[in-house]
Structure 1
Amino acid sequence: MLKPTRTVLALATGSLVLGLVAAGAAGADEGPGQELPPREIIVGVQPWPSDPGAYPEDRYALGRVVSKGPLKVRSKPTTHSQSLGYVYPRSRVEIACKKYGENVGGNRVWYRLAERDGAGANGSGRTDRAASYEKERWVSARYVKNLSEVRYCR
């Protein structure tokens, strides 16, 4: 049985209009990104030195952020702790150690980021354990792919 010409034309026109609307919405998504808050932490590894013994590979593990958006850096290994800033996708990070914490997307492991230069120092040149605990920065391992083996925190 043949369908009336009007019905066929209406269906063809409707699908064409829907296709154009979908293409316009997809093009609108590719515009400039959303402005990020000014609080940010950029944690990156400096370029590899030409001398193989110059970088302390045994000190920190390396990881790459695989989240779709900025990954929050927390003061403790839980999503309820204070947010200290962000790490951007595809950034390389130095990981000091790992620890079990709150479950995020089926993963209970959290990575403690390596301290920045001078973090944890109490002014006398030696590191103070209490000061280092105040400077802890944690990210969920759910959104960081470790590029080398990560040891557990002591």
Structure 2
Amino acid sequence: MRMFRRIAWAGPAAAAAVTLFAGNALATSSPAEGLVVSTAGLKVRAHASTHSHVVGVLDPWQKVRLSCQTEGAWVEGNDIWYRLHGKPGWVSARYVHNYTRVPWC
């Protein structure tokens, strides 16, 4: 019986912690900001690979919004790729400087 009371008491506290965590996750879900640091147009790929189909091009020094990051094909020593926010496609992090934290996909 005593064990049941502990669980019942911990239940609301755990629920509050989960709610608090979910609230913080929602608050930080806005897209990250970045800047294309390539001197030529940056190819936007369908997947996080240099062998993937090109779906667009970003201009040099263009500001971009980034949804998340993942590991992909190596590009000049960097295997991180960013998913563009609001547009289909991925860009190599080698050519994009992120100004705010980019969450993992």
TM-score between the two structures when normalised by the length of structure 2:
0.71
2:82 equivalent in structure 1? 111
Deviation at 1:58, TM superposition (A): 4.0
Larger Rg: 1
TM-score between the two structures when normalised by the length of structure 1:
0.49
Q: Deviations over 1:79-126 (max 9, x none)?
A: 00000110011110000000000000000000000124xxxxxxxxxx
Q: Percent identity?
A: 43
1:66 partner amino acid: V
Question: Equivalents in 2 of 1:115, 1:76: separation in Å?
Answer: 15
Superposition RMSD on alpha carbons, in Å? 1.5
Equivalent position SS for 1:111: strand
Q: Does 1:98 align with 2:50?
A: no
Q: Deviations over 1:9-57 (max 9, x none)?
A: xxxxxxxxxxxxxxxxxxxxxxxxxxxxxxxxxxxxxxxxxxxxxxx87
Gaps in structure 1 of 5+ consecutive residues: 1-55, 117-135
Runs of 4+ that moved beyond 2 A:
none
Equivalent position SS for 2:71: strand
1:142 partner amino acid: R
Superposed, 1:47-126 pairs within 5 Å as 58-116=29-87
1:72 partner amino acid: K
Gaps in structure 2 of 5+ consecutive residues: 1-26
Judging by fraction of residues, say which structure has more strand.
2
Question: Equivalents in 1 of 2:67, 2:29: separation in Å?
Answer: 10
